[in-house]
Structure 1
Amino acid sequence: MSEAISATVSAPRKIDLNADLGEGGVHDEAILAIVSSANIACGGHTGDTHSMRTAVRLAKANGVAIGAHPSFVDRDNFGRTAQHPPLDLLFTQLCEQVDQLSGVATQEGCVLQHLKPHGALYNQAANDAALGNVLIRVIQHCNPQLRLVALAGSKLVKQAQAANLQVIQEAFADRRYNSDGSLRARSFADACIDTAAEAVQQTISLVEHDQLRSVDGELINIHAETLCVHGDGIHALRLLESIRSELITRGFIIAAN
């Protein structure tokens, strides 16, 4: 191929599409045929050995990368209420969750690829250096090869990179954002996106322009390497089907990082 011709051939664009799974959602099996990465609940907010094993097996069958999705130990609130446990206790609890899922994965011939904190822990750690340090310590202790999935543009991204961790910056196709780049709190009725058209629009804005529009109408810059749809949402499967279809139509390859 001549230089002139090769210069006109652009490399295929790639995006990782992930979902939080093993959380009791009714569409996990169908979702695992769509996404490229799965964050599997490992007992803090929900999940047990059986649900972990089921999710791992389904992910393996579909060639989906798997990661741990640990949480504050708070099943009553599904891990979505702010917590302030002693940091040493939290470290121990998170390590127990990651180790339990890692053990199941090993038994099934799989290896964990990443760690993504769940719910309130995810949001608090995004800008709380003390919680961020706990997550860093968990990875260093359990498996230094794990990549940390963190809110794109958050303080945690730079904190983890400074600790020599590999970081995957994440944005959400099914959540609305505040103008500072944080997620709209679920206490607001408009926190979640539940129509395929809007989820697709936000996805395309993110992957093609590194931007999205906040709830206040402000255009904010967000560069993400992975996009998430919450697997427990009642519209999750429909949103993911529409998002994947549009991404493929636009020439994107759906693949894990």
Structure 2
Amino acid sequence: MEGEPTAELIRAQLRRLRLNADLSQEEFGKLVHFSGSQVSAIELGQRPLDRFFLKRADEVLGTGALLTSLLKLAERDGQPSWFRPWLEAERQAQQMRCYQPTLVPGLLQTENYARAVIRTDDMICDDELERRLSVRMDRQSILSSPDRPKYVAVIEETVLRRADEGFRGLMTDQLAHLIECAERPHIHVHIVPTEVTMHVGLVGPFALARGSDGGWVGHLENQLGGVVVDNDEDVAILLSRWESVRSEALSRRQSIELMKEVMTS
């Protein structure tokens, strides 16, 4: 996996902790519900690190979640270089703004919705899908942390109504989660109704994060990944476009009522 130095540290710590507990690979495997050969393959780096395995290992070895915490670091280190500055901006943000014309924003996605979105890329294997999914779910923790930022999202109504027969149950759960998020005091979700046919935001999704120093950083998504925007002039343009997009959306309460209507229709 990417972030290999951290992955090597996890494997070394796993082996050290197991030996300190005076457990053979077979004995340890029985406790974590894996075979001894699987434990060996994980320790030797012949098998990818598994979140469930490490969670069980933490419980059995009484590590205080050391191994799963290290896995989160490895996953963060394994992110593409262009994305790491934005992850850091998210973690330090006091305010966040996001506009999405085609999808529910990542920080508000359910696990099943996120998996379906990631799975649309048929070039990634199952292990990579699960790695990306765990990173996305972990990112959401900033919205429930003690120093959580104020988060404002603007979404197109068409995003809520994109549900064929096979996707409807998943989308119903996603809408329920979105409503629950929108009713938290620090999260605002605003919907741009379908009757607003053209506006500047339709050019593409973007996000903004304001740090403790008062400065803003932007993030633009594209088919190849994304780019972090920290140039003052470009950030000013994004802030101006945010105001334009936000002005087209319904109020917070109207948006929640619309989401409830879509969910039950």
Same fold (TM over 0.5): no
Give the structure, 1 or 2, with the largest relative contact order (CA under 8 Å, sep 6 or more). 1
Which one has the largest radius of gyration? 2
Scaled by the length of structure 1, the TM-score of the pair is 0.30
Higher helix share: 2
Question: TM-score normalized by structure 2?
Answer: 0.30
Select the structure that is richer in strand.
1
